Each structure stands twice: as structure tokens, then as C-alpha cells.
């Protein structure tokens, strides 16, 4: 039996139930998503969406600001890379979400509540005197004063992985680190 060509496999997987597959997503560039910018939906990178002033669709601007501040304390450059836009877009993606939470036991329907709870816990800890820059060390040992949310070490693990993905998990990020980028499936354009 002859093996189908790559284009036939891609066409077949895209057509199945009208849903994009993981392979389709990787082929298109995994970190590109649709963002609402000035009332229009544009497909762009999280960094570009942030620079253009995207409109959050799932979490509030304040919640996303808390997540971005903590993510940037965990992975410098995450805020500039658009981690807030990335998280909000992935929360809006339903079952197609690529946030780490999906892979460590937080089902897509529950992810908005999970990330919202982390953001609210960060805001509460900061309001009670813990500086953002001090949160990572305290979260690692679950010793954040006034923490009210998912276990702090679990939240740190998940948010750090998402921040790493959006900041360094691209060909541009690899180049900045001086590491050759060898994707299993090379995206057709820069993420």
C-alpha cells in the first residue's frame, strides 16, 4: 500500500471533524493566534498583539497584568514576549489550548478559573506586602504570605513553563540563546 503524501495527510487531518489537529497547529506556527485588536481579529504573534494593544477575551486586563509581571519575574523577557496575550488567547482556544496546565491535569474548561485564581492570588499577596520580585522564591517552597489560590509551587511550575514557551520556544528565542533550532516540524514562518 502506498504511503500518502504529506499534503494528503495534512488535508485529511484538517478535514476530520472540521477541527485543527496538533500537527496543523504546529505547521501554521504554534504561537500565532487570533487576537482582537482595535475591534478587528488579527492573526499574529503574542508580542505583536501586545504591542498593538490586544483586547483580552477571557481574563481581565488586571489579571493578565499580574500574570505577566510574575511570568517576567520567573523568565525575564516574558512580558515583552506577550505572555499575557498568549495566555488569554490559549484560554480562548478551548480544547486546542497549548498551555502547560492542560498537560498537568487542568482540563481546558477549568483553565480560565485556574489562571484567574493564580492572578488573583498574586494580586492578594502583593496587596499584603509581598513584592513581585520576591514571589518566585517563596512560591517554590509554598511559603508566600497571604497566598490564596492553587498551591504556589504548582502555579509557579505551570506559569514558568508557559513563560518559557512564549519567550524562548521559538526559532528567534533559540537564536538569541545561540542554540541551533531543529524543530521536528519546522513552522513555515517565524512564530
Residue 150 CA, distance from chain mean position: 18
- DSSP 3-state assignment of 35? strand
Look at residues 30, 33, 85, 82 and name the one whose alpha carbon lies nearest to residue 56.
85
Q: Are 85 and 49 in contact (CB under 8 A)?
A: yes
Taking the C-alpha atoms of residue 89 and residue 29, their distance in angstroms, rounded to an integer, is: 14
- DSSP 3-state assignment of 20? coil
Taking the C-alpha atoms of residue 65 and residue 97, their distance in angstroms, rounded to an integer, is: 20
Q: Are 150 and 172 in contact (CB under 8 A)?
A: no
pLDDT per residue of the chain (191 residues) written in tens, 0 to 9: 333 222 222 333 344 455 555 444 444 444 567 777 777 777 777 888 888 888 899 999 999 999 999 999 999 999 999 999 999 999 998 888 889 999 899 999 999 999 999 999 999 999 999 999 999 999 999 999 889 889 999 999 999 999 998 888 766 777 777 877 766 655 554 44
End-to-end CA distance of the chain: 36
In angstroms and rounded to an integer, the radius of gyration of the C-alpha atoms of the chain is 18
At 39, list the grid cell: 475591534
Taking the C-alpha atoms of residue 157 and residue 163, their distance in angstroms, rounded to an integer, is: 10
97: Cα within 13 Å, side-chain hemisphere: 25
Domain boundaries along the sequence of the chain: 58-170
pTM beyond cutoff 0.95: no
Amino acid at each position: 500500500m502506498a504511503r500518502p503524501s504529506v499534503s494528503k495527510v495534512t488535508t485529511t487531518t484538517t478535514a476530520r471533524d472540521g477541527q485543527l489537529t496538533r500537527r496543523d497547529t504546529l505547521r501554521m506556527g504554534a504561537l500565532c493566534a487570533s487576537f482582537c485588536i482595535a475591534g478587528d481579529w488579527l492573526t499574529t504573534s503574542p508580542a505583536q498583539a501586545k504591542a498593538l494593544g490586544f483586547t483580552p477575551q477571557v481574563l481581565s486586563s488586571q489579571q493578565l497584568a499580574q500574570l505577566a509581571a510574575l511570568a517576567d519575574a520567573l523568565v525575564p523577557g516574558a512580558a515583552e514576549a506577550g505572555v499575557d496575550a498568549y495566555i488569554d488567547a490559549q484560554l480562548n482556544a478551548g480544547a486546542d489550548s497549548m498551555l502547560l496546565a492542560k498537560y498537568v491535569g487542568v482540563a481546558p474548561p477549568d483553565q480560565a478559573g485556574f489562571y484567574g485564581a493564580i492572578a488573583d492570588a498574586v494580586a492578594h499577596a502583593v496587596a499584603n506586602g509581598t513584592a513581585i520580585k520576591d514571589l518566585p522564591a517563596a512560591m517554590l517552597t509554598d511559603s508566600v504570605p497571604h497566598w490564596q489560590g492553587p498551591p504556589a509551587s504548582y502555579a509557579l511550575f505551570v506559569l514558568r513553563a508557559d513563560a518559557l514557551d512564549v519567550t524562548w520556544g521559538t526559532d528567534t528565542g533559540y537564536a538569541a540563546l545561540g542554540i541551533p533550532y531543529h524543530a521536528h516540524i519546522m513552522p513555515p514562518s517565524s512564530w
